[in-house]
Structure 1
Amino acid sequence: MNRREIDHCLLCNAPLTIRMDWKRLFVNRFPQAICQECEGKFERYRHEGNEEVDSLYYYNEAMQDYLHRYKFMRDVLLAKVFAGEIHRHLKNRKELIVPIPMHPEKWKERTFSHVDELLRQARIPFVHVLEKTTTEAQAGKSREERMKTPQLFVLREDAQVEGKDLLLVDDIYTTGTTIRHATQVLMEGGAKSVKAFTLIRAKGGQEAIKASPLMF
């Protein structure tokens, strides 16, 4: 990979100041994708105890703009923004990495799978074992409406999950409906354990995130 392939911030287009050192010269590192000013706008998630769902950032204004551009505006290059952080958090996980899937109709509409691309850019191997059964979006629903959502997934016919430890990966955690539904299907399919990782965690009171239906 060309370490100078990105020379302007992918978010604000400001020139990037590449800090060269011996580690950057001799270690295969992820290229810098955003400037320090943009990076500082993202709020790191503060973990509380032994949580089953691991997250990296809170959902704030900067993250809302990022998701809009990445998913709704289909700016697939933005998958590089958090590649290094995702890689650092998942590279040593022993579980089988399982992305939350998109419905085929949504995939055609968006032209790429946003969760798959985040993992691909982070160089994290993954396998699909779930299928999404509905194109209905969760964005904009109240907490009560999300909690009443019918099962969103089924196990793929070729899935082999029995006796395995699995790590679900999604872009954002709000009420936990998506993770809960996926976990139920996997456990019923014989999985030994299921945990989850998300790039973003909504703060309290953000359950009904306002967004275009195309975003989620």
Structure 2
Amino acid sequence: MTMQLNCLFCNKHMNQRIRWVNLFSIKQDVICVNCKSKLERINGGCIRCNKKTDQDICPDCKYWIHHPKTRDIPLQNKSLYHYNDLAKLIMERVKFKGDCKLLDAFKRDVNEFFEMNFSPLNYVIIPTPITEERLYERGFNQAAYLIRDLPYEQQNIFIKISNEKQSKKDKWERLTLKKQFSIDNTIKLSDKKVILVDDLYTTGSTIHNMARELMSNGYQKEICSFTLFRG
């Protein structure tokens, strides 16, 4: 069966051979080959956060390594794509127009990455929260949406206590580590290793805030993070 589908980003036609058995599977493309080719898959970069750099460890990570509040957090971040012009346009559509279906373009890659790098037996996933106001405006949490179908235990233990938009801050303001989250103490911390999940890693402030909050509440196991994009 051939169905004429439109790319969810550029709206151009995509003629694809589709079987009913995989019509709604993770194998189904939702953006065209041309759009997908403009995304930059990460290969190398900073060994700690995947930032595009010719150094082993980028300046951002050196900052966190020497910061008195984060130097004891052996955090490692992995991202799939660089935050290039197309990625920015996609996330603008997702966040400001509520177009969550665009994230389905990355479903296959996200599933394959987790399958290759983590075991559901050993890890629990914790998505970055958004405020109730943002959730009402947007209708979904993009971090939770990215990992909604993964066969992992998921815990929503963080509460977002700051409504300030990171995108409105300059780099120094993001690096100041102002408290952004609290932990819901009615939820027991998992005894598994933790994967913190977000859509975008820029300076690392959000991820380090969550990791610091976990450790302040007695969590002592491995903490790593996964983001779709690395700015």
- Decide which of 46, 67, 83 is 1:59's aligned counterpart: 83
For residues 142-178 of structure 1, give each alpha carbon's deviation from its aligned partner in whole angstroms, at most 9, with x where no partner exists: 2211112411111112232264310000000011000
The alignment partner of 2:197 has SS state of strand
2:228 counterpart letter in structure 1: L
CA offsets 1:86-127 (integer angstroms, 9 cap, x no match): 11111352310110011112111222111111222x545422
TM-score, scaled to structure 2: 0.76
User: Are residue 199 (structure 1) and residue 228 (structure 2) matched?
Assistant: yes
Residue aligned with 1:157, SS: coil
Which of 90, 104, 114 lines up with 2:114 in the alignment?
90
Structure 1 residues not aligned, in runs of 5+: 203-216
2:9 alignment partner in structure 1? 11
Cα distance, 1:129 vs structure 2: 1.4
1:110-125 → structure 2 map (5 Å cutoff): 110-120=138-148, 122-125=149-152
Q: Which residue of 2 aligns with 1:213?
A: none
Match of 1:45 in 2: 42
2:166, 2:174 within 8 Å by CA — same for their partners in 1? yes
Matched, 1:176 2:207: no
Give the CA deviation at 1:189: 2.2
The within-5 A match list for 1:67-216 is 67-91=91-115, 93-94=118-119, 95-120=123-148, 122-125=149-152, 126-161=154-189, 163-191=191-219, 192-202=221-231
**Distance in 2 separating the partners of 1:182 and 1:56:** 20
Counterpart position of 2:72: none
Structure with bigger strand share is 2
| Contiguous gaps of at least 5 residues in structure 2 | 49-75
Letter of the aligned partner of 1:8 in structure 2? N
Residue by residue, what CA displacement relative to the aligned partner does 1:154-213 show, whole Å, maximum 9, x if unpaired? 1112232264310000000011000000000112223211100000001xxxxxxxxxxx
The SS at the match of 2:213 is helix
CA distance 1:115–1:42, change in 2 (3 Å): same
TM-score, normalised with respect to structure 1: 0.81
* Distance apart, 1:29 and its partner CA: 4.3
C-alpha spacing 1:175/1:29, structure 2 compared with 1 (3 Å): closer
RMSD: 2.4
SS in 2 for 1:13: coil
- Tell whether the 8 Å contact from 2:124 to 2:190 is kept in structure 1 after alignment: no
Contact 2:4 2:15 in 1 (8 A): no
SS in 2 for 1:96: strand
1:19 Cα deviation from its structure 2 partner: 4.9
| 2:42–2:81 Cα contact (<8 Å) kept | yes
Equivalent pairs, count: 195
Relative to 1, partners in 2 of residues 1:129 and 1:61: Cα closer, same or farther, differing over 3 Å?
Answer: same
Taking only the aligned residue pairs, the percentage that are identical comes to 29
Residue 6 of structure 1: CA displacement? 8.1
